[in-house]
Amino acid sequence: MSAITFDDIETFLTQSGMSWDDLADKLNMKLNKNQLKFQGVTKKVNAAMTALLAETTPALPVDDETFNRVERALFTIAKCSGGFANTALTEWETDFKSLAKELSSPAIGNKDGSYLIRTTGAIRTTADTGDIAEIVILDGDSRIGDGGEIIAGAPHPLGLHEVLTKLGWSHCIYSSHSNGATREELAAKGIDSGGMYGADYHKYRVAILGRYTPEQLPALLDYLFTELHGAGVMLAPVTENKTWAQAWYFPRCPDDSRMKLFKFYQHEGSALDVDGITQDWIKKQAPVEIKPPKIAPYKAQPGESIKGWQCPIKAFNQAYSVHDVLTRNGYIKKGAKYLHPNSSSKIPGVQICDNCKDGVVRVFSHSSDVLNTGFASDAFDCFRLLECNGEW
């Protein structure tokens, strides 16, 4: 077991965004900062930190000795030594450890500069690049808020790294140029980051090993984001993820202060089983015949036998739609479904039912909310369940 120094711990805290208190909670032990600094790291702390570093692999350069002795599987992508305006590409035969070493070593400089793309090619256009990609790249640009809104600044990369590691996929995560932007910089650009700036403002790229075609990419991205969102990592999807010949800059930081905020995580597992993932995903998304939902038995209303009586439920349903009632109660429409305002999974579970036998549009809930009664609900049902505690 190699010896962990106080400086190693300080470096880990800076690169992971943790405080000493956070680290103590993570290790489940008391940490005396001054004692560790002046008396050295104890065996217990050394063992715990060694295990944590092995688990998270934060921004520490790839060890040269390990790099040189490991047999590695090669793949070919392309890169450019010029800036974005230079579209001429050079093929780059590399491997996971070489890629990790390159992406873990940021330079100080402007954002525009050398870059890589996901596939091969001579010129950076969709027509002039290969039809097989070797890495999936996700842009850690923004996050999805509790109300479904998109907020500048991505979730902390450590959470995403832990999800991908648990799934066993080889990946690298590295900070991009705007990571750690100050409050003044964000204000000058008119960016609303939800109060996050400096060490709490995360921007990064995620590179995951996997061979795929342009046709497979949409299903693959849908699958990846479903996995992340299901685990509570609310990274927002962006158009760049789907752009085949997208240029992805090698890591650079604007200055020394931002270099201290640079983060890098890696895990060497297995490449994505793209064929299996996409085929399974497409099967799950295939349309199925939806049977008309059960409708609650009609409940006779007081006064029905009186001449000229009008049904208040029918009158309500003529005046309001299920959409009116759901949206005023915070539900968010997502295609043919609605998302509960307090959903933790961010997966919509309230289905629109427009094939009821009586022609009335209703909704049927699969979520753990008050609308899940076992029956489809019309506008009045939604009103009484959401706004009247279920009373008639």
CA 145 to centroid of chain Cα atoms: 12
pLDDT for 295? 77
Higher pLDDT, 55 or 263: 263
What tokens does 331 get?
């539900």
CB 141 within 8 A of CB 239: no
CB 120 within 8 A of CB 78: yes
Is the per-residue pLDDT at 167 higher than 50? Answer: yes
pLDDT for 57? 47
**Averaged pLDDT score across all residues of the chain:** 86
Average the pLDDT over each of 108-112, 147-151, 175-179, 263-267 and give the range with the smallest value.
Answer: 147-151
Contacts of 285 (CB under 8 A, 6+ apart): 219, 222
DSSP label of 264: E
CB 106 within 8 A of CB 93: no
**CA gap 345, 234 in Å, rounded:** 9
pLDDT for 51? 75
pLDDT in tens, 57-100: 444 444 444 444 434 578 999 999 989 999 999 999 999 999 99
pLDDT for 190? 95
Q: Which of 281, 297, 303 is nearest to 374 (CA)?
A: 297
Q: What is the DSSP string of 149-185?
A: -EEESBPPHHHHHHHHHHHTB-EEEEE-TTTT--HHH
pLDDT for 359? 78
**CA gap 152, 203 in Å, rounded:** 9
Alpha helices in 1-78 (DSSP H): 6-16, 20-27, 33-39, 43-56, 64-69
**CA gap 330, 38 in Å, rounded:** 55
Work out the average pLDDT over 207-218: 95
Average the pLDDT over each of 164-168, 208-212, 225-229, 346-350 and give the range with the smallest value.
Answer: 346-350
pLDDT for 66? 44
Q: Which 3 state secondary structure label does DSSP give 205?
A: strand
pLDDT for 42? 87
**CA gap 41, 10 in Å, rounded:** 12
Higher pLDDT, 321 or 392: 321
Q: Beta strand pairing status for 264-267 and 252-253?
A: unpaired
CB 8 within 8 A of CB 49: yes
pTM of the model: 0.61
**CA gap 45, 195 in Å, rounded:** 34
Work out the average pLDDT over 261-284: 90
Q: Which of 269, 284, 53 is nearest to 164 (CA)?
A: 269
**CA gap 317, 387 in Å, rounded:** 15
Work out the average pLDDT over 159-183: 95
pLDDT for 290? 52
pLDDT in tens, 115-128: 999 999 999 998 99
Residue 320: how many other CB atoms lie within 10 Å: 16
Sign of CA pseudo-dihedral 174, 217, 223, 235:
positive
Is the per-residue pLDDT at 174 higher than 60? Answer: yes
Q: For 296-319, give the secondary structure using H, E and C.
A: CCCCCCCCCCCCCCCCHHHHHHHH
What tokens does 231 get?
């685990």
Question: Burial of 171 by CB count in 10 Å (0-12 exposed, 13-18 middle, 19+ buried)?
Answer: buried
**CA gap 169, 281 in Å, rounded:** 17
CB 201 within 8 A of CB 153: yes
**CA gap 258, 108 in Å, rounded:** 9
| CA-based radius of gyration for the chain | 27
Q: Which residue has the tokens 């690298």?
A: 172
How many percent of the chain have pLDDT more than 90? 55
Q: Which residue has the tokens 């005046």?
A: 319
Sign of CA pseudo-dihedral 49, 55, 59, 60:
positive
pLDDT for 59? 41
pLDDT for 291? 59
Residue 246: how many other CB atoms lie within 10 Å: 17
